Amino acid sequence: HVCLIPSSAHGTNPASAQMAGMSVVVVACDKNGNIDLHDLRVKAEQAGEELSCIMVTYPSTHGVYEETIREVCQIVHQFGGQVYLDGANMNAQVGITTPGYIGADVSHLNLHKTFCI
């Protein structure tokens, strides 16, 4: 199974996917740190039926709120994958958005980070 991971991802993301037995395919990001939608579409199509998911930290490890996060979710869903939203920085979403609005299928919340603010 293929796990798509943006080039902006923290190193633990591809490591987690590999530990779960998945093949990691890196998706390019643009000069502003956003996921390159063209590259995402190409990689998702190439993965075909092997596409399992994309693992996205939102906002990213670099503090970027993906401008096209909903489109990212739509593309992955179009090709049969699921969207895993890494909640490492989820405290930055409070009052701005929710994983459901974004279109994520799975999300987690890091309480050790959330309760420290």
Mean pLDDT of 49-67: 89
Mean pLDDT of 50-63: 89
* pLDDT of 116: 62
User: pTM for the full model?
Assistant: 0.87
The two beta strands, 51-57 and 23-27, are unpaired
Delineate the domains of the chain, giving CATH numbers in brackets: 2-114 (3.40.640.10)
Q: Among residues 56, 58, 68, which one has the least CA distance to residue 98?
A: 58
Mean pLDDT of 23-46: 96
Tell whether the model's pLDDT for residue 36 goes beyond 80.
yes
Q: Any bridge partners for residue 86, and if so which?
A: 57
